[in-house]
Structure 1
Amino acid sequence: MSTGDDHATAAPDEAATLRALRVHRPDLTDAYTAALPAARAAILDRLHGALWRENLVDRRRLGGPEPALFQHHGTAVLDGVPHHHPARLAAAALNSPNTARLVRELDNSVANLALALADPHPDRHPATLVDAEQAIADGHPLHPCCRTRIGMDTLDVLRYAPEHRPVVQLAVVDVDPARWRTGGTPRPPRLPVHPWQLPRAVATGLVTDTGRRVPAHPLMSLRTLAFADDPAVHLKTAVEVQMTSAVRTLSPAAVHNGPLASALVARLAQRTDGLNLLRETTAATVVDDHGDPQRTLGAVWREAPPPHATVLPLAALPGRPDLLTPDFFTRLVDLLLPPLLTLLDAGVALEAHGQNTLVQVDNGRPVRIHYRDLGGLHVHAGRLAAAGLQMPPLIGALPTGDEDALRTKLLAAAFSTVLAHLVAALGGDQRLWDHVAATVRAAANRHDAHVILRRDWPLKATTAMRLADDPLEDRWCTIPNPLA
């Protein structure tokens, strides 16, 4: 296992990953080597598209037409020279003080994606939610750093990443009751800690390892797990590992807001047909001698979907041609968009991307939407008041008085990413977008509908964020509106 300070440095590239496999997993070396070209191509496609969309390079240097979202090319041209490796393309194309950081992340993303492709899921049509989430090998469909695990070495990735299907032994630590802070349903001062985080947690001197271990299965997010012995509960943990754009600790705002936002969104969801919120029932953290919550010592307990239903994240659908048909898509749109637009009208914009949003399927038909993870939503007090609701005492970035920011949160996730990915997987049929447009006209308020139907759509500029001095500050680009 990595040592306590490795979270700042561990980022195995292709060669380092291969060396580790030769020693520890020689059974994967041939498959890993064979998977490298596909992994490079997949990350290259994401980076090439980002260079265009986010205006990171003079487009005359890239040549050719702008690459379409979610289409696969496997090569990119810069200054007339073909490139086949994303990290080498970034090094050649970008002149930023933070280019070296991005190059390192791209190298790590390629290595971990190849490792995922080398260790394929045994079931092409997984039945359980855990299996469905662990069958998703390639992560975020547009982020070039979709498989970064900065801080984990190769053995850590094999031990803890969902695509390798491990059983993770959560460690239970004792907390001094005077240091224990919770929201929502009270819990005793015992904190489940991810095993990668355990030595770092104990080193703070604020918690004590009880020696008790609880088996759990990592979900898409790696740091969020399903308890093996309690299928009704999922747990989000704090892990000092950078995955895609952020180190996945738990901010004081996330701990404070989760149960409060859950109560608000659950109440609004009752006004809709087909949306079920997976509430964050308890959030907990540990405070230091100054009373400051520790981002690295926290957890959020969340409701799980019904254990005996067939539920899968929307991110799984592009890889499920057995399910994803034009008829399935139109039924999904009918189920998904009216609740999201009803909540938007009332002042709550859910970040309904493919990881947070799940669909329940019965006899091959979508029948219910489940939504989880409230850390990324936006709430507008004025719209809430007009809907007869009061803004709860949320802190951090969740409250907003900006209606464009409110719409952007929903549009960038649900429209620019999820729906665009599904339409692309179905061949780009414009009739599918026509159905989306008709649903928006029927379900959105007049002003929201005008924006959604007429303006270019926002998309998070993830590569520009990785090049910024503050990589956590949201940056945006736009894509052409397929409904306009």
Structure 2
Amino acid sequence: MVLPEPRALSKAPMAGLQPVTALSELPAQRVLRQLLEALMFEGLIAYHPGDRNRTGWQWLSFQAGNLHGRCRARIRGFGRLRLDTSSLTLERNQKPVPLSLTTLVAQLPATNSHQQSLLTELLATISNCERLDALRKARHSGDRRNLHGEALDSALHEGHPYHPCFKSRLGFQGDDLVHYSPETSTGFRLHWVAIPRHNLDSQLPSSDMAFWQSELGQEQAYLLRAAFHRAGVDWQQYGALPTHPWHWQKLSQGPESGRLEALGIKCLGPLGDRYHPGQSLRSLFNASRPAKACVKLPLGIHNTSSRRHLEPHSVPSAPAISRWLESIVAGDPLFDTSYPLRLLPEYASLGVAAREEQGANNSELAGELAAIWRASIGSRLHEGEQAIPLNALFQWQPDGMPFIHPWVEHYGLVPWLEATLKAVILPVWHMLAAHGVGLEAHAQNSLLVARSGWPRALMLRDFHDSVEYARDYLPQTIPEPNFGPRQAFYDQAPDNQYYRMSNPEALRELVMDTLFIFNLSELALVLEEAYGFNEARFWDRVRTILTNYARQHSDLRSRLGRLGWDQPHPLTESLLRSKLQPDSEQPRHRVPNPLAPGPNDTLMPFIDHHHKRLP
């Protein structure tokens, strides 16, 4: 095992570093900060640091329409920013302007309708945070460090650390927010429907009855059959499908109700185990029998960047993609020894088929009535192991210390960090460089498998719409994924539409975005804020890990060269631009790369081009 238990390091000191406790931030302050940070990072508003050669706190000025702002800030790796909004001032024509989201959003480069849409989500995020935080604090007081796996996933209430609409959840009304949010939900049963089999795309590993007996248990499988009889539908002619109760209510009582009736879809009512939502809202964990599968269901709310349905093409393809990835991992012993990687496969799926039947168009319900079953976290753990979602690593606790503080204190910051970076980076990097597959390893999709806080492996999940490959970058020993009867659909699709990309740089962009720029960047921030561990040192460690990998795999030199991971200014996705300017083609921008060779001055922004659209 590449990451042995560090007995010799168990009493390692913290090298004189003393943690600095976190300062509390009200929801309105956080939303404003993340909005401004994203706007500046993506070049949507122009900013100018006081001293380009500084990496610590400094004053910067910015221009948003006719507003001039000034704020203390720190420019970080990949051009990410950290603002101190307590120092923020706004002026118009050299006269002070009160701080206001409404005032700021009105000056952004977008149409009035897109400005108003963004403002609605920002205000909803603030309102939802305030309501959920009050209820959560009243109900829960336990230390999250005692949790792991699904329980910890549901307890990670902070939301996206970059996107300012991190808790908008548009669509929830009244008590919906309380009933169906992980912060406050007490659990709920799924709502079941019966769908004519000719309208149902079924990708189950066994016959219907065998599958439901395995998933639901004998008693609940019997009750499901009984529900069919009560609804007056034939088990041979109809298939069962679970739905999110909120989503089914909106579908059955909204404009789609007529289409449901035209397709012969019948309501069966609530049934089976109770489920609890995870931090992604639509991934539901089995609260009655935690060892059973996680069920991912479409949920027609808007949150963060998009509406939370399921991509119609990805539902029937989910098991095929998981089988493909599992075959790659099983065929490379390094994923067991040097770069431990464990997958949570999506082994079954059901959904309304996207086609026309009997004069009724199914396409608008494809992705709206669907389900994907994913292996539970516990099913991939060995005795004594815990699974920690990566976004837990950069959270602060009510005691004012980082979540990771006991491990840092026990093992020493540098030894623990070195082991963690290797455990998190190398499996994803090896899959990319050696096998030509890009994985969307963002902080919610990735879990650190640890024993007493010491890293042992990386666990990844959620593959159905987050895996990419380039045909000419796959090694000859690895075939493209096999989609069976749906193969022609993917063969005829253009590159860059589904799983197949046109070049390996697209894979590199996916990996660097999700693993470095919007993931490990947050860990780097916590280490600097809490322990004074300079961020330049953090990215130097990452660069050394990647350089050592290249040295150890000299046979991959040309493949690594094609990725361009160490180019000075790579492209990255512009998440907020997609919301303000949704008609933009491939909204991306260039960022300074702290992993590029040479003097480590690449924390500095790409000032000369930062505010231009780049090809």
User: TM-score w.r.t. structure 1 length?
Assistant: 0.85
- Kindly state the Cα deviation for residue 369 of structure 1 after the two structures are TM-superposed: 1.1
Alignment CA distance shift 1:159-1:134 (3 Å)? same
1:321 equivalent to 2:427? Answer no
Match of 2:155 in 1: 135
> Match of 1:281, as an amino acid?
Y
CA distance in 1, matches of 2:170, 2:116: 14
CA distance in 2, matches of 1:187, 1:126: 40
Residue by residue, what CA displacement relative to the aligned partner does 1:181-209 show, whole Å, maximum 9, x if unpaired?
Answer: 12252563211111101223443224322
The partner residue of 1:89 within 88, 99, 104 is 104
Match of 2:244 in 1: 194
| Structure 2 counterpart SS, 1:74 | strand
- Kindly state the Cα deviation for residue 225 of structure 1 after the two structures are TM-superposed: 0.5
Q: 1:31-50 counterparts in 2 under 5 A?
A: 38-50=26-38
> Match of 1:397, as an amino acid?
Y
8 Å contact from structure 1 (residues 70, 424) kept in 2 = no
- Kindly state the Cα deviation for residue 342 of structure 1 after the two structures are TM-superposed: 1.4
> Match of 2:180, as an amino acid?
Y
Q: 1:325-474 counterparts in 2 under 5 A?
A: 325-345=413-433, 346-374=435-463, 375-393=465-483, 395=490, 396-427=497-528, 428-429=533-534, 430-444=536-550, 445-446=556-557, 448=560, 451-470=564-583, 474=586
Q: List gaps (5 residues or longer) in structure 1.
A: 1-35
Q: List gaps (5 residues or longer) in structure 2.
A: 1-23, 48-61, 64-68, 209-238, 396-402, 491-496, 551-555, 597-615
8 Å contact from structure 1 (residues 351, 376) kept in 2 = yes
Residue by residue, what CA displacement relative to the aligned partner does 1:284-314 show, whole Å, maximum 9, x if unpaired?
Answer: 1023634646221001111121257421210
CA distance in 2, matches of 1:66, 1:397: 39
Aligned residues: 449
| Structure 2 counterpart SS, 1:296 | coil
CA distance in 2, matches of 1:376, 1:78: 40
The partner residue of 2:326 within 250, 253, 266 is 266
1:207 equivalent to 2:238? Answer no
Highest RCO, 1 vs 2 (Cα 8 Å, sep ≥ 6):
2
> Match of 1:299, as an amino acid?
A
- Kindly state the Cα deviation for residue 432 of structure 1 after the two structures are TM-superposed: 2.5
8 Å contact from structure 2 (residues 157, 279) kept in 1 = no
8 Å contact from structure 1 (residues 266, 276) kept in 2 = no
> Match of 1:380, as an amino acid?
A
Q: Which range moves more in the overlay, 259-268 or 462-471?
A: 462-471
Q: Which range moves more in the overlay, 85-94 or 246-255?
A: 85-94
Alignment CA distance shift 1:465-1:343 (3 Å)? same
CA distance in 1, matches of 2:182, 2:90: 35
Among all aligned residue pairs of Structure 1 and Structure 2, give the percentage whose two residues are the same amino acid: 23
| Structure 1 counterpart SS, 2:300 | coil
The partner residue of 1:286 within 333, 352, 355 is 352
Match of 2:116 in 1: 100
Q: 1:202-241 counterparts in 2 under 5 A?
A: 202=252, 203=257, 204-205=260-261, 206-213=264-271, 214-230=273-289, 231-241=291-301
User: TM-score w.r.t. structure 2 length?
Assistant: 0.68
8 Å contact from structure 1 (residues 350, 409) kept in 2 = yes
| Structure 2 counterpart SS, 1:452 | coil
Alignment CA distance shift 1:341-1:132 (3 Å)? same
| Structure 1 counterpart SS, 2:387 | strand
Specify the structure having the higher radius of gyration (Cα). Answer: 2
| Structure 2 counterpart SS, 1:436 | helix
